[in-house]
Amino acid sequence: MWWTIGDMSSDAPPATAPAPRTSMYARGSAANMVRSLLVIIGFMAVLFFAVARVNTASVPQVHIDSLARQVVAQTSWPIAVGKDLPEGWTPSAVRFLPSTDKLRVWHVGYQTPDRTYAAIEQTMNGTADWIRAQTNRAPKTDMVTINGQAWDVYVRDIKTQNSLVHEPAKPGELTTIVTGDATVADLTILAEHMAPFSG
């Protein structure tokens, strides 16, 4: 018997590797691309509306009455709040804390329709240092009359803060500052709608 090296031929066809399965995404690729695109668009739409909802959400309501009643009970001060403010003004902060020169300060803040901030700040016998601190050391630029009372106007341009300051004519009365990054016009609106808290 003769053997020929390398002669291992037979009549059987050579074995071949099985063809890989065609992915369902490879078939009808145009239709699948459209479906994928629709999924992405839907996902982006959900994100868009979620972000828009956060950005346009209204400021959470702040309940002024509870703390105001406590302050009046403790101090007998005729503290002021905004009353009958135009549409779009929203209470956004309220507190009663020590401040410059250890003066206790009533603070009630509002978001304006332009989404700026305006606050009423009051203390008994406010000092010059307290006024400087609350107005952020802004220069006095003008004087206006609101509801028959004289108010000094303070404007700080570098770090925007505007203020209206009413100093009482005699000791034993509240010094009142209306302040914030709102315009002087909006601060004037708040000052015009100030009224002693009654509740």
Same domain, 97 and 125: yes
Q: Which of 39, 57, 75 is the last residue of a domain?
A: 57
Q: What pLDDT is recorded for position 60? A: 67
* pTM score, whole prediction: 0.71
Helical ranges in the chain per DSSP H: 29-56, 65-75, 128-134, 184-192
Same domain, 113 and 134: yes
Same domain, 30 and 103: no
Same domain, 73 and 142: yes
Total tally of structural domains belonging to the chain: 2
Considering the domain boundaries, does residue 32 fall inside one? Answer: yes
User: Which of 67, 73, 123 lies closest to 91, judged by CA?
Assistant: 67
Same domain, 95 and 38: no
Q: Which residue has the tokens 């034993």?
A: 172
Same domain, 44 and 78: no
Q: Which residues pair with 96 in a beta bridge?
A: 106
What is the extent of the structural domain holding 169?
A: 65-196
What percentage of the chain's residues is helix, strand, coil (to nearest 5)?
30, 30, 40
- Residues 6 or more apart whose CB falls under 8 angstroms from that of 113 comprise 86, 87, 88, 89
Q: Which residues pair with 39 in a beta bridge?
A: none
Q: Tell me how far apart the alpha carbons of residues 116 and 24 are, in angstroms, rounded to a whole number.
A: 55
Same domain, 171 and 189: yes
Q: Which residues pair with 155 in a beta bridge?
A: 162
- Residues 6 or more apart whose CB falls under 8 angstroms from that of 74 comprise none
Q: Which residues pair with 104 in a beta bridge?
A: 98
Domain CATH number, residue 152: 3.30.200.100
Same domain, 43 and 78: no
- Residue 110 near residue 117, CB atoms below 8 Å: yes
Same domain, 32 and 129: no
Q: What pLDDT is recorded for position 159? A: 83
Considering the domain boundaries, does residue 121 fall inside one? Answer: yes
Q: How many CB atoms lie within 10 A of CB 76?
A: 8
Considering the domain boundaries, does residue 18 fall inside one? Answer: no
Kindly give the parts of the chain with pLDDT less than 50. 1-14, 25, 46, 48-57
Structure tokens at 12: 């059987």
Same domain, 33 and 84: no
Residue 177 buriedness (CB in 10 A; 0-12 / 13-18 / 19+): buried
Q: What pLDDT is recorded for position 2? A: 34
Same domain, 43 and 132: no
Same domain, 167 and 113: yes
Considering the domain boundaries, does residue 13 fall inside one? Answer: no
Considering the domain boundaries, does residue 78 fall inside one? Answer: yes
